[in-house]
Structure 1
Amino acid sequence: MTLPFEFFLSPEFSRDPYGAYAGLRARGPVHAVDFPPGSSAFVVVDYELGRSLLTDPRVSKDLANGPSWFAEVVTSGNPVLARNMLSTDPPDHTRLRKAVGNGFTPRRVELMRPRVQQIADELAASLPDGRADLIDSFAFPLPIIVICELLGVADADRDDFRTWTGDLLEPAMDDEVKERQAVANASLRDYFTRTIAERRADPADDLVSALAAAGELTDQELLSTLVLLLIAGHETTVNLIGNGMLALLRNPGQLALLRERPELMPRAVEEFLRYDAPVERATFRFAVEDLDLAGTHVPKGSFVHVSLGAAARDPKAFPEPDRLDLTREDNRHLSFGHGVHFCLGAPLARLEGQIAFETLLRHRPHIELDVPEEELSWRLSGAVVRGLAGLPVRFTPTPA
């Protein structure tokens, strides 16, 4: 049986993908899926198989190894996303990653800690008394300010960035969405083309200037890479903070434990990343030859979707996978990927996550969900990213 395209896009799946994946896993590790519609495509819901495929040379991220129509759609419809680390294999991937990598080493990221902490403190202190949408008031502003400062783009433009990136991540289900995506694509292209030209004429102490001056990337690669950094630099961290806070609010015992034992914070962030991953499914990959995946025939050129969310709830990899456990050890989640495509920004995301939760719980130690859980809505992004549209919360005074 082939899963319909709508499997990934229904509100029911958005609310609880893990129940759906458990049902699939009980039937087997690999399933045919009509995603994109009309394509030969398969989704992998098993941890070990998914992890191995993320490093398997028989599975490629180069657009040239996929259907020609898909490459044409990406390069013509989204030229700003067409030539970066996400759409290349080594050696091009190695070259592109090396050009950017120095800005995201653990040592360089640690030097950013005081500024990230300052931003988090200011945001937490400005939260209104009583009620707030934690996504709009805290989870979104923190990472977008950080990535804007790192790149050297105007923080004042962050609302535009949110709109543009949200439109690009939305599934192109109808002409209205496609039109918004065309506007977003053109807006980001024009914005960064202008910014690159300005930095070449008048360099500053920022990543755009450094990359433009190095001359290691073509203009198309530089443009595409900057858009990727902007999107990946805030979108996933917004979801980490939002999904993680919801997990804590749903599990008051674990929230109390984290308040009592703040030294658990690094381990807690890893558990948030596993429990409700900000990236639900790894980005596109293609079979470069006919494959046999656990008894399922996967023809050459097929899309191979590795579900990171399903892998994170595989009971063969994680004891009691549906339980939030902030003391969990040996947390080998795949939320940052695996192998050469392991997320370049993982050190920054971890730093921002640890600071975000610590700061929020310090400034607002008593926080509750302000709506019934069934009223929460999730943004439909083709199940690539998983994030709340909003997180209404209520702050209560500290008991005397």
Structure 2
Amino acid sequence: MAGAVELLVVRTEKMLPAAVVADPHAVYEQLREDGPVHRFVLPDGSSAWIVTRYDDARAALADPRLSLSKAHAGPGAWKGFGLPPALDANLLNMDPPDHTRLRRLVSSAFTPRRMELLRPGIARVADALLEPVVAAGEGDLVRTFAPLPVAVICDVLGIAGQQRGELKNWAAVLLAPPKDDPKAAGRAVLEIQAFLGRLIEDKRSRPGDDILSALIAARDDDDRLSEDELTSLAFLTIIAGYENSANLIGLSLLTLLQHPAQWAALLADPGLLPGAVRELMRFEPPAPVSLRRFPKQDLEIGGVRIPAGDTVLIAIASADRDPARWPDPGTLDLTRDTSGQLSLGHGIHYCLGAPLARIEAEEAIGAVLRRLPDLRLAVPVGELGWRPSFRSRALQSLPVLAGEAGQRQRGPLH
């Protein structure tokens, strides 16, 4: 027991490497080799255990002893982003039976069949957003496609008109707060909360054919969720639907531009695109680590003892490049069998929006391939900026050139 305590103390002194933001795969490769589980001090001073290997990660994602509820968090545990109670009663903070009850209410709105019905509209929006880049022969694809996930989520929730632009601005601030305004994220949360309150009341009097109207009916008619749960579900749909989808599109386009043979393969056979998106998610997941979890009791992962109440993070970016699971994992192979990948989770917390995220990525990438087949990066890869977060993999911008603009500036980019 003394040895175990000493081990905990030594590991607690290690700071999470800063390089995990710009080059997470190199960091995780070393961690996988060093051991299955590591304890680090996070940037805010709290501590967390990080699980690095595929078998351990997959098991942990489905382990009922690992709770998402903050009620099981111990002193000093990292709990993630703090929210007001009206926004915090969401699926990312719940275990069964509440999680089961709420997930059942919303799961029918995100079935693959229903998401496929959105594909034509998503394709039209993606094409329209790309038009200025096509016309100019240059642009920033992160900024170009940022409105796409917001437009789709607004369709799902029945949000129209000027409200869409306001929501996009608040979501952008919340996910990437300006460095010179530390209170901006807090204000954005309050603005979204107030906006959702007004939206819910409006839909109570004028319901539509959308998921939010259906949830309001479940709240008012059947009493199957509380008012806070209703508001929190709407908030989660907005934030989760925006962040991961926007990041996935940017990361996928960057990855393909770095792999010209794979780009050429997609140009030659667009039918590869659905499988390619799955491989791109494995290769460069937009969420490198899982939702934080808290052991309800002392347990072991990979032979390492983790006390109850500590924070556990599962390194998805590491697990999905574990050579014990994937042959040649550092190679992008658009024809790879990606079954079992963890980029969208595993078990009861598997991402509800997975079908929608894949469709958005397929249509955005497909539009670029059709309309900008000679696309290239406008700056060296090393000059690209990353948002400073270990929990998300997000480009600040993706400047590109095409057509005559690309030809004028052609040269090696690394």
- Distance change >3 Å, CA 201–CA 357, structure 1 → 2: same
* 272, 278, 282: which one aligns with 1:270: 278
Q: What stretches of structure 2 of length at least 5 have no aligned partner?
A: 1-9, 408-414
Partner-residue secondary structure (3-state), 1:33: strand
Partner-residue secondary structure (3-state), 1:2: helix
Residue 13 of structure 1: how far off its partner (Å):
2.3
CA contact (8 A) 1:149 1:155 kept: no
Which whole-Å deviations, capped at 9, do the CAs of 1:164-219 have from their partners, x for residues lacking one? Answer: 334444599x9953x22221111111000010001001112222212112213211
* 201, 212, 215: which one aligns with 2:216: 212
Please tell me the residue identity of whatever aligns with 1:114.
P
Please tell me the residue identity of whatever aligns with 1:186.
L
CA contact (8 A) 2:278 2:338 kept: no
Query: What corresponds to 2:256 in structure 1?
Result: 248
Query: What corresponds to 2:325 in structure 1?
Result: 317
| % same residue | 41
Query: What corresponds to 2:50 in structure 1?
Result: 43
Which whole-Å deviations, capped at 9, do the CAs of 1:48-84 have from their partners, x for residues lacking one? Answer: 1011000111111111111367799966x43344111
The reply to whether residue 66 of structure 1 matches residue 73 of structure 2 is yes
Within 5 A, what are the aligned runs for 1:326-341? Answer: 326-341=334-349
Deviates more, 1:29-38 or 1:183-192: 29-38
Residue 162 of structure 1: how far off its partner (Å):
3.9
Partner-residue secondary structure (3-state), 2:49: strand
Please tell me the residue identity of whatever aligns with 1:96.
L
Partner-residue secondary structure (3-state), 2:41: coil
* 88, 96, 113: which one aligns with 1:90: 96
- Distance change >3 Å, CA 187–CA 314, structure 1 → 2: same
Inter-partner Cα distance in structure 1 for 2:200 and 2:75: 31
Query: What corresponds to 2:291 in structure 1?
Result: 283
CA contact (8 A) 1:249 1:369 kept: yes
- Distance change >3 Å, CA 289–CA 155, structure 1 → 2: farther
CA contact (8 A) 1:132 1:393 kept: yes
Inter-partner Cα distance in structure 1 for 2:329 and 2:78: 37
Query: What corresponds to 1:356 in structure 2?
Result: 364
The reply to whether residue 185 of structure 1 matches residue 189 of structure 2 is yes
Which whole-Å deviations, capped at 9, do the CAs of 1:349-388 have from their partners, x for residues lacking one? Answer: 111111111122111111000011111011123x222110
CA contact (8 A) 2:249 2:361 kept: yes
Query: What corresponds to 1:129 in structure 2?
Result: 136
- What's the Cα RMSD here? 2.5
The reply to whether residue 34 of structure 1 matches residue 38 of structure 2 is no
Deviates more, 1:386-395 or 1:128-137: 128-137
Residue 24 of structure 1: how far off its partner (Å):
0.9
Q: What stretches of structure 1 of length at least 5 have no aligned partner?
A: none
Inter-partner Cα distance in structure 1 for 2:79 and 2:335: 47
Please tell me the residue identity of whatever aligns with 1:212.
I
Please tell me the residue identity of whatever aligns with 2:268.
E
Provide TM-score, normalisation by structure 1. Answer: 0.91
Deviates more, 1:268-277 or 1:322-331: 322-331
Residue 331 of structure 1: how far off its partner (Å):
3.9
CA contact (8 A) 2:204 2:213 kept: yes
CA contact (8 A) 2:173 2:184 kept: yes
CA contact (8 A) 2:78 2:311 kept: no
* 17, 21, 44: which one aligns with 2:28: 21
CA contact (8 A) 1:5 1:35 kept: no
* 219, 233, 242: which one aligns with 1:234: 242
Partner-residue secondary structure (3-state), 1:332: coil
Residue 320 of structure 1: how far off its partner (Å):
1.2
Query: What corresponds to 1:113 in structure 2?
Result: 119
- Distance change >3 Å, CA 69–CA 191, structure 1 → 2: farther
Inter-partner Cα distance in structure 1 for 2:280 and 2:318: 14
CA contact (8 A) 2:300 2:306 kept: yes
- Distance change >3 Å, CA 73–CA 121, structure 1 → 2: closer
Inter-partner Cα distance in structure 2 for 1:40 and 1:15: 21
* 50, 53, 59: which one aligns with 2:60: 53
* 377, 383, 400: which one aligns with 1:393: 400
Partner-residue secondary structure (3-state), 1:43: strand
Provide TM-score, normalisation by structure 2. Answer: 0.88
Inter-partner Cα distance in structure 1 for 2:47 and 2:195: 36
Inter-partner Cα distance in structure 2 for 1:390 and 1:38: 29
- Distance change >3 Å, CA 105–CA 72, structure 1 → 2: closer
Question: What is the count of residue pairs matched by the alignment?
Answer: 392
Residue 120 of structure 1: how far off its partner (Å):
1.7
